[in-house]
Amino acid sequence: MEGSFLALTLRRFLRNRTAVVGGLVLILLAIAAVAAPFLAPYDPREMHPAERLSAPSPSYPLGADQFGRDILSRLLYGARISLRVGFLSTGMALFLGLLLGLTAGYVGGWADTIISRILDIMFAFPFMLLAVSIMAVLGPKEVNVIITIGVVYAPIFARICRGSTLSAKENEYIQAARLVGASDVRIVIRHIMPNIMAPIIVQTTLSLATAIIAEAALSFLGVGTPPPAPSWGEMVSRGREFMELSPWGAIFPAVAIFTTVLSFNLLGDGLRDALDPLMQRAS
């Protein structure tokens, strides 16, 4: 059954050309990020004052920023930050969301009431202000950006998980598992979780895109990954100040962010379509 589920999903996914393109772009991006030390022509922090704000040329393929740092090198190393923050923060949000959502949905009662009220508060809180406030508490470090985005996005996963769990726990196989003496933990892990993973997988892919945007936005505001680390958002923010003289410092990181986010969205949409009949069957 499991083999046919994966094969069916993969076959449906591969029929979606835009989703496949999105996936390939992300694979290329990941390779570029991992191979940055070999692909980057310069150290991303190395300054060449004589080349400040220079246009694209053979020596600086995408130009140089206001400190004479190579933009291509900074983009390649910046990909590491974006992907690292994207994956780790989404992983954290997924973990917290599953914990809260499964507890609220399966246990119900007072646990559901308390967790649902906490989620209501988090959703009504202006997201950017919440993120900026948490960063102000923790301080400007990459690990704190991961924690902040993870905490702020956890409610989205918790809501999806809670809804799916409430639906899944009414199925007969859950009652059967209880009757044969399965513990609650076993029921949740072995029976409920596998049957609610389809919407979670789709949301995870889409959240990767929004996590990358969030990291870039926080860095753009000056409260995210601190300089001289080559965060794409910080590059857009600094590049903006010199746009009249040299727009490359803002344009190329902007293109990088857009391409990455678009690829994740295409992948997420493709996964949603591939998993759709299975999601309908699960609900």
Interface with other proteins (CB under 8 A)? 117-118, 120-121, 124-130, 132-134, 136-137, 139, 209, 213, 216-217, 220-221, 233, 236-237, 239-240, 243-244, 247, 250-251, 254, 257-258, 261-262, 265-266
CB 14 within 8 A of CB 23: no
Alpha-helical runs (H) found in 35-141: 36-39, 71-107, 109-124, 127-138
- Kindly tell me which of 70 and 215 has the beta carbon lying closer to other proteins: 215
- Kindly tell me which of 68 and 247 has the beta carbon lying closer to other proteins: 247
In the complex, minimum distance from the CB of residue 248 to other proteins, in angstroms, rounded to a whole number: 11
Radius of gyration of the chain (CA): 22
What count of other Cβ atoms lies within 10 Å of the Cβ of residue 114?
12
CB 279 within 8 A of CB 199: yes
Closest residue by Cα to residue 70 from 98, 97, 51, 91: 51
Closest residue by Cα to residue 145 from 157, 154, 132, 155: 132
In the complex, minimum distance from the CB of residue 59 to other proteins, in angstroms, rounded to a whole number: 25
In the complex, minimum distance from the CB of residue 250 to other proteins, in angstroms, rounded to a whole number: 5
- Kindly tell me which of 39 and 276 has the beta carbon lying closer to other proteins: 276
- Kindly tell me which of 105 and 249 has the beta carbon lying closer to other proteins: 249
Query: For residue 230, what is the enclosing H or E element?
Result: none
In the complex, minimum distance from the CB of residue 124 to other proteins, in angstroms, rounded to a whole number: 5
In the complex, minimum distance from the CB of residue 223 to other proteins, in angstroms, rounded to a whole number: 8
CA-based angle 148:160:112, to the nearest 5? Answer: 90
- Kindly tell me which of 33 and 206 has the beta carbon lying closer to other proteins: 206
